Amino acid sequence: MLQHNIAPKDYKGALVFRSAIESTRGTFIASSTVGREGFVRGILEELTTLQRIASYEHGGNRNRHDFTVAVTRDPDYFAAIEVKGGEGNSINISERPLWAREFGVWCHLDGAIINSPAHGAKAIIGRLTNELVSRRKHVDVLFFRDVLCGTSVRPCPKYPSRPGNKGTRIAPDVFLFPQRIPQEADPEPPVHTLETLKLPRLVLEMFGVPREQEEAHIWQVHVSFRRASEERVAREVRIVHRGKNVGPGKS
């Protein structure tokens, strides 16, 4: 600041410092968003080239989701994907299209070193399950990918023989959500599997994950509904990985 003739008294407690921070933050978020969407676009482009999906379209600002995916044609089977960052701050703006047979959220952690990927995933799952129960916004699957996963900075236990990998071919973790919205008449719906959805397995296959290793990438998010009072509903969330509970929580 001093080299530009801006003294502490000019920005301390004033708006200029905050404006500079917000401007920098906005520029970073905008560039990160382009990078995240570009990465997902590359995946869909490759799936199209390999004829694993029929086509895809980038929605841009026209829709409340980022990508429309025609998984198959004749019969038509469409999925929608919303792309977010890895902290979960804007999850509640997602909107599931009425025509979507599958609705997935792709969250991309852009290299945060201070907060672990588990911290980001937990925050996102908390927001998604809150939206599921309180606002009846149904998400089928969460793809969560840490850009540092599989690098020397953050070795990945799923790829023990690949230290120093740049991470571009590291598959995302796949969190499968309930098949239906929990409610009083259906308090704990069954969780999706790779057989009840199409897109998750296609993504894992594209990243080279063989069928016998899929389990290492799959997490089940169990959500149960209960009415805490006449005005308030509550949810209980269990995250299961390889048959073990790894993230219980109530709210």
38 residue type, one letter: G
Distance in angstroms (rounded) separating the CA atoms of residues 36 and 6: 35
Q: What is the average pLDDT value for the chain, to the nearest integer?
A: 81
Distance in angstroms (rounded) separating the CA atoms of residues 177 and 116: 22
In percent, how much of the chain has pLDDT > 90?
52
Provide φ and ψ at 158, rounded to 5°: -75, -15
Q: Is 219 exposed, middle or buried (0-12, 13-18, 19+ CB in 10 A)?
A: buried
Question: pLDDT tens across 155-168, in order?
Answer: 677 766 655 555 55
Show the DSSP H helices in the chain as ranges.
8-11, 15-49, 117-134, 199-206
pTM (2 d.p.) = 0.81
Band (pLDDT 50/70/90 cuts) for residue 249 is low
Q: Which pLDDT score is estimated for 115?
A: 65
Rg value, the chain, Cα: 20
Give yes or no for residue 240 having a pLDDT over 60: yes
Q: Which pLDDT score is estimated for 117?
A: 76
Question: pLDDT tens across 16-75, in order?
Answer: 444 443 333 333 333 445 588 999 999 999 999 999 999 999 986 667 789 999 999 989
CB 228 within 8 A of CB 234: yes
